[in-house]
Structure 1
Amino acid sequence: MTTLAYKQMPADVLAPIMQLIDWLLWAVLLVCLVWMIIAAGRMWSAMRDGMAVNDATHGVTVSLLGAITASSATSIALAFLPT
């Protein structure tokens, strides 16, 4: 028999937490997608006008990093929450 240093969370407590994490992930990924579309439009406009593309590429990079961070944060939360 294995003795745990912590108590397992009951399923009726864990289910709403998991639902909240799922909804928050969807919201963050939706914001990242909208930001990516806006940044891509700005980049297209800057490339078409021959202007510097630095600001637009920064927006694309930030959007991708935000999506990666949100996805990995969810994985870490799922690793710590007992299922």
Structure 2
Amino acid sequence: MQQRKKIESEAEDAFNNGIANLCELETDIGNMIKRMTSPIIQKFEEELKLIRKKSSKDTKMLKIEVHGKIVKANKQNLRGA
């Protein structure tokens, strides 16, 4: 009976160590993926910010020529409000 408990205890310890190693490996892989994708994501976000900023600026500073006059339009003018 003691032999069986000893074997079960050793098996449980081995299982727990294996699970702990898998968790560490999973964390390491996750961190590695973050490090690899981080520059790509940062570049994409920077470009997206520039596009949004330019689009917002273009919308705010849009000039519409009406009857020979140049009128600055903002978003409300464009919506017809």
TM value normalised by structure 1 = 0.45
Q: Report which of the two structures shows the higher radius of gyration computed on alpha carbons.
A: 2
Bigger fraction of residues in strand: 2
